């Protein structure tokens, strides 16, 4: 088990979307939920790496290497843990306050496993 700072860097869903979408995003949106939640619905441009894989030491995908990371989960708890773990490994990572629940509530797009309309789980 590892400890994480309760005052680590956090961003709102609007800041997260601004940083991770568009033609030239400044960061990668990293979704750390498990596969069933990811398949039910995720942000269209997100990269999926479950927190369990990060804790187990799996490497990040190539498209995330050397890029700032905006980490998201369902409500913000797991993303906080993931952002702290990634920061300990030298990554520039922030987490999203309120997670996918807040993302969907703000009206940001959510897609399912097949690119259709999704839901947060």
Catalytic residues: 73
Q: What is the DSSP string of the chain?
A: -----TTS-EE-HHHHHHHH-SSS-SSEEEE-S-HHHHHH-B-TT-EE--HHHHHTTPPPPGGGTTS-EEEE-SSSHHHHHHHHHHHHTT--EEEETTHHHHHHHTT---B-TTSSB----
């Amino acid at each position: 088990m590892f400890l994480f700072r309760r005052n680590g860097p956090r961003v709102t869903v609007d800041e997260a979307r601004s940083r991770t979408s568009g033609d030239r995003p400044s960061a990668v949106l990293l979704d750390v939920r498990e596969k069933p939640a990811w398949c039910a619905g995720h942000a269209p441009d997100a990269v999926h790496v479950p927190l369990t894989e990060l804790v187990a030491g799996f490497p990040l995908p190539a498209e995330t290497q050397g890029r700032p990371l905006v980490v998201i989960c369902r409500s913000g708890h797991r993303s906080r843990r993931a952002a702290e773990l990634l920061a300990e490994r030298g990554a520039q990572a922030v987490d999203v306050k309120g997670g996918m629940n807040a993302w969907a509530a703000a009206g940001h797009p959510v897609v399912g496993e097949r690119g259709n309309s999704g839901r947060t789980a």
